[in-house]
Structure 1
């Protein structure tokens, strides 16, 4: 399968995520790095304008997603966007 979004959807049953990297850890477990791919995540919740500047990046380790187990760890990289609209 060549579409990365489809891989994330198939693996986790969640749309809007992209698998960026899979890494085998020293203990044999796998770390899957995910990113939000949905462009709608850039829309300001107040005014709806799409942001162009990243305010910050948050990395989370969700444990309640399908596929999470003791040998599969998920790291989700979420960008926080800055709205440049003066209003």
Structure 2
């Protein structure tokens, strides 16, 4: 699946939900997993039927541009 996020960041299956610009000049980019196949168990392939929890991860190895970028990846479990 090729989306604008894939083209911009090189992250396939991820979508940008919103971008914030705090007073310190950095940019906060909020991401979600957009690939429906991510709901499937990697072992047996059965799809999850309910959300079991949520987590926010902070990928730190994605440098982009001169101003700082902070990534917040919102994931369902």
TM-score above 0.5, yes or no: yes
Residues 68/38 of structure 1: CA separation in 2 closer, same or farther (3 Å cut): farther
RMSD (Å) for aligned C-alpha atoms = 1.9
Report the equivalent of 2:38.
41
Inter-CA distance 67–48: structure 2 relative to 1 (3 Å threshold) = same
- Looking at structure 1, the residues matched to 14 and 63 of structure 2 have their Cα atoms a distance apart, in angstroms, of 13
Q: Which residue of 2 aligns with 1:20?
A: 17
User: Which segments of structure 1 move beyond 3 Å, counting only runs of 4 or more?
Assistant: none
Alpha-carbon shift at residue 26 of structure 1 (Å): 1.6
**Where do 5+ consecutive residues of structure 1 fail to align?**
81-87
State the TM-score, normalizing by the size of structure 2.
0.85
In structure 1, the residue corresponding to 2:51 is in which secondary structure?
strand
How far, CA to CA, are the matches of 2:6 and 2:71 in structure 1? 14
Unmatched 5+ residue regions in structure 2? none
Alignment check: 8 A CA contact 2:14 2:33 kept: yes
**How many residues are matched?**
76
TM-score by length of 1: 0.76
